[in-house]
Amino acid sequence: MEGRRIPFAGIVLAVVSGIIVAVSDLGIASIFAMVGVWILSFWLVVPLPPPPKKEVVEGVQLTRSGMRDLIEHSGLPMLMIDGNRIIVANKAAREAIGAHVTGQDARVALRHPAAVDLLSRKEGGSVTVQGLTGPRSNWQMTRQPIDDRYALVELINRTSEADVSRAHTDFVANASHELRTPLASIIGYMETLEDEGENIDPKRAAKFYGTVLREARRLQSLVEDLMSLSRVEAEKHDQPREPLDLAPLVRQSARDGAGLEREQRLMLDIEDGKLEIRGDRNQLEQLVRNLVDNALKYGGQDQSVEVGLRRGARDMVVLTVRDHGEGIAPEHLPHLTRRFYRTDPGRSRAAGGTGLGLAIVKHIVERHRGRLDIASKQGEGTTVTVRLPLMPAD
């Protein structure tokens, strides 16, 4: 009779009373009195509130403790909630959203309509929560019920994926715009030439043909740079192994980048001796050509461009390309290696720039495990420095 209080003395009394009634000649009042005592003894066998089941209480505590131990070292931020209150936050969650969330209402801690809606549901589910740890952060939040009371919340950081997606979208939009501009110009001039036919003024026709040719070449340069950037990005995790002496490569590539009409503005200062690295010859030639071409385009028509190569500290070779142009404002410097970024779009297009040269340089340097630095002061010019690791001496 688990859960009941059993009065053994009352039962014995009732039994004895019954025997006395059976063998004795008692009055009716005495009989009723004895029956009353007997009934009372059994009535006292009453149900009591069941005592707390210690094993159940301990089981809940053990579940909470076990869950804490289970999720503590997970690489994903995870929360255990009781109703809407956060009772466990693992290390990753404390680092991502703060240790103060433990004990808070999850709706207050997460502060997002989609998160609040998910927490209010009885069933599990997944939503995207933006701005949880920063203005541009993007998290996938999943709620998995454990029972009617407890649930597990998992947070997956999707910020980098969103950034990559946004970068791809921006790249496609920018590339489309850059391609469309020269195409529109070519089509417009050619339609005019076709419409006017033989009646067009020869000087005007020559001007139109010149514009069409210039825009076609610009389009060709843009397509070539896009293909180069695509190849460099595809190979960025494949470190080059070919041994190269950088000195003759820089000397020849700098002259190629200047061309015959600008070579007199080029000043070379290359250290004597062998400066050997492991590198991709074609990409390093492109790197030097791009840097020299940029410096000559934007460094002023009559100003020299200095190209230096020397052995640096920590087993590095240092390539510098310096111009003496107008310089670049400080706010532009962090963005110069972004695709299609231009400090002066009109001037860049007029000079034939595609806005991809420094982006290509950055990826080539990264593939060669080097470092790229750009320093500029308005009115004094710009210096681009590339540091590449030398091959270890035998």
CA dist 378 and 325 (Å) reads 8
What CATH class is the domain 68-157? alpha beta
Provide the pLDDT for residue 30.
57
CA 232 to each of CA 37, 61, 374: distance values in angstroms, whole numbers, following the listed order: 101, 56, 20
Provide the pLDDT for residue 59.
43
Q: Pick one of 1.10.101.10, 3.40.50.970, 1.10.1780.10, 3.30.565.10 as the CATH number of 238-389.
A: 3.30.565.10
Q: Do 68-157 and 238-389 fold alike per CATH?
A: no
Ordered by start, the domain boundaries in the chain are 8-43, 68-157, 162-233, 238-389
CA 249 to each of CA 103, 292, 309, 368: distance values in angstroms, whole numbers, following the listed order: 64, 13, 11, 15
Paired tokens of 141:
């939040």
The stretches of the chain forming alpha helices (DSSP H) are 8-23, 28-43, 54-71, 91-97, 106-110, 113-120, 159-196, 202-234, 246-258, 281-298, 345-350, 357-367
253's CB contacts (< 8 A; 6+ apart) are 284, 285, 287, 288, 289, 292
CA dist 228 and 221 (Å) reads 10
158's CB contacts (< 8 A; 6+ apart) are 128, 138, 139, 140
Provide the pLDDT for residue 1.
46
Q: What are the 10-residue block averages of pLDDT along the chain, 394 residues in total? A: 51 58 55 54 50 42 64 85 89 87 86 84 84 81 87 86 68 76 88 85 88 88 85 84 92 91 91 91 94 88 90 92 90 87 69 79 93 92 94 75
Provide the pLDDT for residue 286.
93
For domain 162-233, which architecture applies? Orthogonal Bundle (1.10)
CA dist 64 and 59 (Å) reads 9
Q: In this structure, is the dihedral angle defined by the CA atoms of residues 308, 311, 312 and 316, taken in order, positive or negative? A: positive
Provide the pLDDT for residue 26.
52
256's CB contacts (< 8 A; 6+ apart) are 285, 289
